[in-house]
Amino acid sequence: MERTAHADTFARDNLPPRGQWPEFRFDLPELQYPARMNCATVLLDDMVKAGHGARIAIRSLDGECTYLQLQAQANRMANLLVRAMGLKPGNRVLLRGPNNPMMAAAWLAVFKAGGICVGTMPLLRAKELTEIVNKAEITHALCDRRLDAELKLALPSCPALKEIRYWYDDETDALIGNQPAGFKNVNTSAEDVALIAFTSGTTGKPKGTMHFHRDVVAMCDCFPRSCLKPSMDDIFIGSPPLAFTFGLGGLLCFPLRFGASTALVEKFTPDSMLEAIQEFKATILFTAPTMYRALAGIWGKYDLSSLKKCVSAGEALPDAMRQLFKQASGIEIIDGIGATEMIHIFISHAPEHARRGATGQAIPGYVAVVLDENGDRCAPGQIGRLAVKGPTGCRYLADERQSGYVQNGWNLTGDAYVMDMDGYFIYQARTDDMIISAGYNIAGPEVEGALLSHAAVAECGVVGKPDDERGMVVKAFVVLKKDFSAGDAMKKELQDHVKRNIAPYKYPREIEFATALPRTETGKLQRFKLRTTP
């Protein structure tokens, strides 16, 4: 590896052994990167240097921000991190906030200063934040003042996290404003870790996926270049949080890489999303399949003539939903599958190459196959495990699950697919216990843990139940202790209890009370039997 610029080598020290890395491919000319690069330089400073500083970079309900203004704000925040907070290259920085210009500037500031971004979704609770902070040994945090409650609850259990600043706080905002508008970016190696993105596995134990500065740029030079083909006049908009790599790419890195602009809105309903598209004259939309279903029903209420391209990812896109949206909007959704481990989308299609029922083909820069249980390639039409190689790939932070995700150089995504004779991939199901509901990944065992912390619960099992609207919903089977009674009041009490303890979107929308749960002789819960319960 190229000489690191990180004084704090925690991330490099906790990379998997080289022999457990996937095979990386850099087949395209645009993927031939220099040995030293800082992704903030590439995404922002190079655009200003090329004469695009006056172009609009970020649009919001509060106004517009040019590339030059965004650069100045990111530089001030980088100076805040280094001068006021003592950040050293390689330190991990927790980022906590909704999608807004300050959150965007914070991401870029950490990259500039050679820190490592760890984004967290606004809905995460103290318990979940504690697990992330301690797993990544996070030392610094930048947080929206409106989201400080759960972070403050987590702090007593996070001894390493010492330096915290809250923006939209008069003192910190003044401190940022007084910082110099210039900053010399840290000369990071292309293989220095730039971000750690957390994804919950089927056990609920958080997995940190480590991505280099090179990876952040590579995700911009594959999917958008081949499938979106954006121009400088495009205006991106969407619902995924910047803490998701789906949102980080689609709503910040992609538009910056192509000199376009992004409209950042903190919270969406179907109506407010269409209102925003109309107001900002957005041209490219990123959201989940369930939102497209909702948008189709109200499409005619707004002038959406500016919108040209729509991207769906986060969960499987049912063909019926795609056709419903196309009938309402006239737009063929660009479906895609990505993974936090891969940083972004690796199978998709340009709109003109969409095939009904298929996710798409491996995009330029990636190769994908379907493997059987022996690791051999499946014949066309045979169901197997999706396996991928490309310029990005899985490197877990100090996690024994690395050897399960990467095998023989392939990234095994945990998805079951079929490939047809023309190389189109057709989604079948997840191969693990992850529940994907309305674009969110939810680990059943984590929900079980929240339920078991309630005084009334003796046993429980959580599975995903197919649902036409959300793809899947969380369903819990609960055995109550003898002094408690089943009923609607108890269901609501348990649901509210889960919402208070973990992110609210993870709560069980369905609860079925049982007298016992199916288990093996050794006491292991047989979730497959719960899934087949009518």
Q: What is the pLDDT along the chain (534 residues), one digit of tens a residue?
A: 789 999 999 999 999 999 999 999 999 999 999 999 999 999 999 999 999 999 999 999 999 999 999 999 999 999 999 999 999 999 999 999 999 999 999 999 999 999 999 999 998 999 999 999 999 999 999 999 999 999 999 999 999 999 999 999 888 899 999 999 999 999 999 999 999 999 854 345 789 999 999 999 999 999 999 999 999 999 999 999 999 999 999 999 999 999 999 999 999 999 999 999 999 999 999 998 888 988 999 999 999 999 999 999 877 787 878 898 999 999 999 999 999 999 999 999 999 999 988 999 999 999 999 999 899 999 999 989 999 999 999 999 999 999 999 999 999 998 889 999 999 999 886 666 678 888 887 878 788 889 989 999 998 999 999 998 899 999 999 999 999 999 999 999 999 999 999 999 999 999 999 999 987 544 567 887 898 877
Distance CA(247)–CA(514), nearest Å, equals 39
DSSP annotation of 192: S
SS3 call for 154: helix
Quote the Cα angle for 112-114-262, to 5°: 35
Distance CA(372)–CA(446), nearest Å, equals 29
- Left, alpha or beta for 472 (phi > 0: left; psi -120 to 50: alpha)? beta
**DSSP string over 227-296:** II---TT-EEEE-S-TTSHHHHIIIIIHHHHTT-EEE--S---HHHHHHHHHHHT--EEEE-HHHHHHHH
What is the DSSP pairing of strand 92-96 with strand 163-167? Answer: unpaired
Token digits of residue 420: 């047809």
* Other CB atoms within 10 A of residue 425 CB: 24
Answer whether 367's CB lies under 8 Å from 388's CB. yes
Answer whether 437's CB lies under 8 Å from 470's CB. yes
Q: Which domains does the chain have, with CATH numbers?
A: 38-187 (3.40.50.980), 434-531 (3.30.300.30)
**Residue type (1 letter), 510:** E
Distance CA(287)–CA(126), nearest Å, equals 27
Q: Write out the H or E segment, with its range, that includes residue 214.
A: helix 213-220
Q: What is the value of pTM for the model shown?
A: 0.87
Burial of 527 (0-12, 13-18, 19+ CB in 10 A): buried
Distance CA(476)–CA(495), nearest Å, equals 10
